[in-house]
Amino acid sequence: AEIDSLGDLDPSGQFVVSTRVRVARSHEGMPFPPAGKKEDFEKMEDLACKGLSTLTGELAGTYYPLRGMDKATQNKMIEDHFLFRADDSVLGDAGGYNCWDTGRGIFHNKDKTFLTWLNEEDHFRFISMQMGGNLGQVYKRLASAIKHMETKMKFAKKDGLGYLTFCPTNLGTTLRASVHVRVPMLSKDPKVLNDICAKYNLQPRGVHGEHSESKGGIYDISNKRRLGLTEYEAVNEMKKGVLEIIKEEAKLTCMPKPMDELWTGLQAGESPS
């Protein structure tokens, strides 16, 4: 019932371009990438593929190993935000790219609305995404996949820390719920946007990831908090903040033009609409 209450953030399709929810998971008893050996990566890939191959219906898909994948396919997948790449210097320095061509790959369903990254930064990144603002649908798909995978393997978890991940910032729920939202008016003066994000513990950034700038008034808005709250609370916090952002953008979009702007337009023979 909680999931169903999330609904569609933007039924008009005017503001939300796309919606994405992801979680990270680690195999119980297996090393994180810096400590992993070739045989560890191969074993994890084998376990993961066996589990993923049992997904059915909408979640059923195909696994594409990074090893042997031609450059053109890799680049196309990266461009479409489906595939990861080894270009984070911090992760590289931490040993996150050890044995890069072994045990890594991507699984995705036919519609590319459910993806799983194997051994990118974490052993698993489960991702549900689609165009538009139907957050309920996106989260429900992810929850269904995780529930199934939990019957096939054990994930590393610790009391007080939640699900264990390579990077401490993902500990807890490990969940990142995000939307790409089109707010050209708010982008002209981002203070209102930043204030709303601060109020709801959200992180605004450009659509090309951390430290990137907004382009065309489109921002990536996501939850900051992963630890000390439930998955639903994290998703719902993002929902509330995004709805407020949309409300403010709609206000600015519908605001009447200033009188001097109208007068200039009338003098030029424009319609005052």
- Specify binding-site residues for ATP: 18-22, 81, 125, 176-180, 205-210
CA gap 20, 223 in Å, rounded: 11
Q: Reduced to 3 DSSP states, what percent helix, strand and coil does the chain have, rounded to the nearest 5?
A: 40, 20, 40
Active site residues: 22, 121, 125, 167, 169, 176, 205, 210
Q: Residues forming the annotated binding site?
A: 18-22, 81, 125, 176-180, 205-210
CA gap 47, 94 in Å, rounded: 25
- For residue 123 the two structure tokens come to 């052993």
Gyration radius of the chain's alpha carbons: 21
The values of phi and psi at residue 182, to 5°, are: -95, 110
- Determine the residue type at 44: M
CA gap 90, 263 in Å, rounded: 55
SS3 25: strand
CB 223 within 8 A of CB 239: no
- For residue 232 the two structure tokens come to 């639903």
Q: What angle do CA 88, 90, 96 make, to 5 degrees?
A: 75
